[in-house]
A and B are shown apart, each in its own frame.
Chain A
Amino acid sequence: MITDRARSVLGVYAACVCAFAVLPVVAIVAESFTATNYLVFPPVGFSTRWYRAIFDRPEFIQSAWVSLVVAAGASVASTALGTLCAIALVRFEFLGRQALQSLFMAPLSLPGLILGLALLQFFAVRNLPRDLTALMIGHVIVTMPFAIRFVTVALTGMNASVELAAQSLGADRLTTFLKVTLPLIQAGIVASLVFTFILSFDDVAVSLFLSSANATTLPVRIYTYIDQNYDPLVTAVSALIVFAAFLALALVERIIGVGRLFGLR
């Protein structure tokens, strides 16, 4: 249906677009090794000075910890709550199912910026602190639709009659879930943990509003730094994030594959 020539032309074009897609990431990693005091591309010389310079800026290290703790907490909470939702929505028929499903999916359509501002005002009006918990709550809300989706896909993909079999053999609902369902949806749960962790770690929109002097996430720290400074320090911090993302990516690729993670067969 397609000639070899047409396929090659499309292939060359796709390769160009791929280059465009990764260009900024490649640029930032290359730039992080520059020996100059200023940003220049292509980078001049080779040095790891900007990586060493990170250690003179404890705020970046501190923010990295904040981001890791928030992402860990948010991904676990989001996946646990998302699993509850997925089981209820997939395995049961009940009044208000459609409405609740729409509610849990709503954060997908609401810009993170708006939720961030709404939560900021909500916390401030009620004199609640903006701390790690506040950040985690915001991140759980924005990541839960994805957690629900991953677990739902796993639940619909497994053979539900094995649950019936377990119950007919005398297992109660909880035992059935722990011994039969959970092992079968494990891959979906792991995918959800990894993906919600990454989403939380990368988030800027919500964190921008919920970060405070003593709890600022790494992406927000980067944003405030480049708002006031113009030097290669942030490229080194960003490059470290890129390396970490590659590790996560390798993990995802091993578990389910990047394409399938986003619903491509």
Chain B
Amino acid sequence: MSAGVLSVHAKPNRAATLILSWALFACGIALYFYVSHARHRDNPEDRVMPTIEQMARGMYSAALHPAEDDEVQTETGNFWQDFPHSMLWKDTKASSRRFLYSMLLLIPAVLLGLHMGLFPYVGVFFLRFILFFDKIVALSLLPILFIAFGIDELSKIMLIVIGVAPTVILDTFNLTRGVPPEQIVKAFTLGAGDFDVAYRVVLKQILPRVLNSIRLNLKAVMLFLFAGEMIASTDGLAYRIALLRRHMGMDVIVPYVLWVALLLFVVDWGMRFANRKLHPWFHE
């Protein structure tokens, strides 16, 4: 007898997997356009739920019309020439730059966690402080950061780092402590020094898990990035969303939100792919 649909032993076939995994997307999109259509039938000027045509126009304008502050103000009709001058590209570039700097600043956080986990004195020195720091709500530090670092890039990047780094440090610390002591002793008996053990034995073993931990924190990175951009910025994806909110520009806000989700999805997929390629021995 085959297992029922709700049975623990059920094995969805390929077609069922494909249909079920996309079903909620299809339902969500259908529901949105049904409600949007109904609202527009009652009020053709409705701006809360733009139609697909309105969103396509909004996105076309954001992606192909030159940004207001761009020196080039004429369209050529060629996508590859127009896109680099568009609002969408400039916002994406600005947010990506902040995102990239923040990610690079997480490297020292990983190294600190590694050293804390491996070298007892480093652990003793930092652990209590990091545990305390981890409990501070990063957004509550935003005014202090703006006062201390001004409203330029540094304060926004610091907000991301302060928000995410303690979690990454503690995750790396715990992963380091999780390496079997037998392996560390073994490495020493094979002639390794302290830093050989740290970088050639422990870091290499925990790196795939550290990357997974950073992947899980990508949303937090974006959250702090958006908070910083929404409050004090003159460009960036979140700045644009905040700006358009004032004009009820839902025809651009919705595509922007989907664009951000897509970018994050691509980054996450890229990191997962790199993790698999760089660490073929690692099985999640």
Asked whether A and B interact, the reply is: no
- Where the two chains meet, the residues of A that have a C-beta atom closer than 8 Å to any C-beta of B are none
- Where the two chains meet, the residues of B that have a C-beta atom closer than 8 Å to any C-beta of A are none
